[in-house]
Amino acid sequence: MTHINSNRRRFLQYVALGTFTGAIPGFASTENRKLNQMPNSAFKPDVEIALTAQTAEVKILPGTKTRVLKYSGKLLHGPQTAIRELPGYLGPVLNFEQGQKVRLFFHNQLPEPCVTHWHGMHVPQIMDGHPMYAIEQGEQYVYEFEVKNPAGTNWYHSHTHEMTARQVYQGLAGLITITDEAERKLDLPGGEFDLPLVIQDRSFSSGNQLHYSLTMHQRMQGFLGDTILVNGQHNHVIPVKTRAYRLRILNGSNARIYKLGWSDGSPLTAIGTDGGLLEKPEIFPYIMLAPAERVELWVDFGGRKTGTELALQTLPFQGAAMGMGGGRGGGMRGGGMGMRGGAAEQGSQDTLVKFAIIEQVGDSPRLPDTLIPMQPLTVSNAANPDRVVSINIGMHRMTFNLNGRTFDMLDYTEQEKIPLNTVQKIRISNISPAMGGGMRGGRGGGGGMMGMMAQPHPIHLHGQQFRILSRRPGYADGAYATIKDGLINSGWKDTVLVMPGEEIEIIKPFMDYTGLFLYHCHNLEHEDMGMMRNFMVG
Ligand code: C2O
Ligand code: CU
């Protein structure tokens, strides 16, 4: 089959170009398994789904339909609840249970390569959607894995080499929910009271088509759109009853960071983060949500009057907008993001979605005092308490990098080798000499070149979820004060927002699976410009 040949050719090219030495575990088996084009007969799936990436036309704005890329799904085997279609361009919500064995037949019907990553899921290298496994139009890739994650909200999206940003922008993303025994005991709001909210910013041409072209400045800061979509819909209003709901919020935007807040100033109750439920509910005045991060909220509409509305907003914040005065940028802007022809900068205020109270009901579940017990993970668990793994964010020739290097398909350095079944302490640092902040003395300043090029970076690590050990904020120019009370530092994470000048220590297990696992900035324009590297676990 020519399909195998084209993949094999690409594979061999990578081998020839990279620093491949023949010692990458998972690689030999990858070849033996012919890049997983056929199901493994020894794997007995509980759920089987066909997932196809294709072009489609969907209604988003009034008038002409919008051409998008879309995952369409079909349940082949397993519980009916395993897949739920959403209107619009997003792929179906995939609902899994911990312990289930899942097989996904991924078909690429796009006239370009594509590969799918299960963001947040703990799966083997060849199932993880590394860009080396991209398939061409007409090809199939079979993903098979056991769901090891606990209950929570994850997602899937394209991870195609240098095309991730555009493909995700055009629609290639969807949610994954996982449930488990411990969660079921909590009796959290379910069914129609368990609402997914995928927040994305887009720009449209006058003909209602998605607009995506980047100036140098836009490439540097990542794509920022002028129109907020929630679950692929514009000006979304969700009818609700006077009772408690669970909101599963994903920031599925390429680059925009949200500062979530209720329109009436009520505090927010978080019950979950990227990796699942928290130990207990936590209250925040607002919550920062960077690209790829998830937060689960508990909201009780009880006591509100029928006919009223409550909006979820993004509030103004500072320190994230790039350019002159970037350190103090953002903030409010007349007209907000509705304005065409110039997207609001990072940190602008807007309405995300409205909840319309339409019905009084008597009954509501109560917020549990505690959620799930959380295994402590501290520096005492680390295999490297004194030899921390560094991820230094840098910049060279208008390209962001990690430890001075950009992405190279199979490349990893000595310090990117991680021994299997260890827990590692990792320090992510957004202080770069190239940005003018090399010396610690620069930490107090924040102006000048620093203010221009310093940017927030949501850093994502594939594989298992990590915990945040500490944050050391950067510049004391007041900008940090506009975001700091909205950072959730408890709970399991796979993506962490690193503000300009900030240094964050995390602790992360690398269990079960050997091979290449990516870590990168989840500002997707940054990822595609090479702000991504491999860890070699083995
Ligand atoms: Cu959500 Cu490597 O990606
Ligand atoms: Cu970045």
The pLDDT of residue 433? 58
Token pair listed for 501: 């000048």
Q: 121 CB under 6 A from ligand 1?
A: no
Q: 119 CB under 6 A from ligand 1?
A: yes
CB 11 within 8 A of CB 5: no
Neighbours of 43 (CB within 10 A): 13
The pLDDT of residue 217? 84
Residue 74 to residue 82: CA distance in whole angstroms: 10
Q: Is 42 helix (H, G, I), strand (E, B) or coil?
A: coil
Per-residue pLDDT of the chain (538 residues; tens, 9 = 90+): 334 445 545 554 554 444 444 445 444 444 433 478 899 999 999 999 999 999 999 999 999 999 999 999 999 999 999 999 998 999 999 999 999 999 999 999 999 999 999 999 999 999 999 999 999 999 999 999 999 999 999 999 999 999 999 999 999 999 999 999 999 999 999 999 999 999 999 999 999 999 998 888 888 999 999 999 999 999 999 999 999 999 999 999 999 999 999 999 999 999 999 999 999 999 999 999 999 999 999 999 999 999 999 999 999 999 887 753 333 333 333 333 333 346 788 999 999 999 999 999 988 999 999 999 998 888 888 998 778 999 999 998 889 999 999 999 999 999 999 999 999 999 999 986 555 444 333 443 444 454 457 899 999 999 999 999 999 998 757 889 999 999 999 999 999 999 999 999 999 999 999 999 999 999 999 999 999 999 999 9
Residue 461 to residue 61: CA distance in whole angstroms: 35
Q: 526 CB under 6 A from ligand 1?
A: no
The pLDDT of residue 214? 87
Token pair listed for 36: 């997983």
CB 158 within 8 A of CB 170: no
CB 84 within 8 A of CB 95: yes
Q: Which atom of ligand 1 is nearest to the CA of 520?
A: 2
What is the CA(456)–ligand 2 centre distance, in A?
7
Q: 117 CB under 6 A from ligand 1?
A: yes
DSSP 265: -
80 CB contacts (<8 Å, ≥6 apart)? Answer: none
Q: What are phi and psi of 252, to 5 degrees?
A: -95, 20
Ligand nearest to the CA of 400: 2
Q: What are phi and psi of 329, to 5 degrees?
A: -70, -160
Q: 462 CB under 6 A from ligand 1?
A: yes
Q: Which of 132, 184, 187, 148 is nearest to 463 (CA)?
A: 148
Pairing relationship of beta strands 194-202 and 244-251 according to DSSP bridges: parallel
Q: What are phi and psi of 451, to 5 degrees?
A: -60, -25
Please, is 219 exposed, middle or buried when counting C-beta atoms within 10 Å of its C-beta (0-12, 13-18, 19+)? middle
DSSP 153-205: EEEEEE--TTTHHHHHHTT-EEEEEEE-HHHHHHT---GGGEEEEEEEEE-B-
Residue nearest atom 3 in ligand 1 by C-alpha distance: 119
CB 156 within 8 A of CB 92: no
Token pair listed for 220: 């540097």
Q: What are phi and psi of 509, to 5 degrees?
A: -80, 145
Q: 130 CB under 6 A from ligand 1?
A: no
Q: What is the 3-state secondary structure (H, E, C) of 162-175?
A: CCHHHHHHCCCEEE
Look-up: residue for tokens 């290449």? 516
The pLDDT of residue 466? 98
Residue 485 to residue 506: CA distance in whole angstroms: 19
Q: 294 CB under 6 A from ligand 1?
A: no
Please, is 466 exposed, middle or buried when counting C-beta atoms within 10 Å of its C-beta (0-12, 13-18, 19+)? buried
* Angle (CA) 22 27 28, round 5°: 75
The pLDDT of residue 378? 83
Q: Alpha helix (H) ranges present in 302-447?
A: none
CA 478 from chain centre, in angstroms, equals: 27
* Beta bridge pairs of residue 210: 204
Please, is 75 exposed, middle or buried when counting C-beta atoms within 10 Å of its C-beta (0-12, 13-18, 19+)? middle
Which secondary structure element, helix H or strand E, spans residue 458, and what is its range? strand 457-461
Look-up: residue for tokens 């329109």? 263
Look-up: residue for tokens 């400045």? 217
Residue nearest atom 1 in ligand 1 by C-alpha distance: 119
Q: Which of 328, 347, 317 is nearest to 446 (CA)?
A: 328
Ligand nearest to the CA of 292: 1
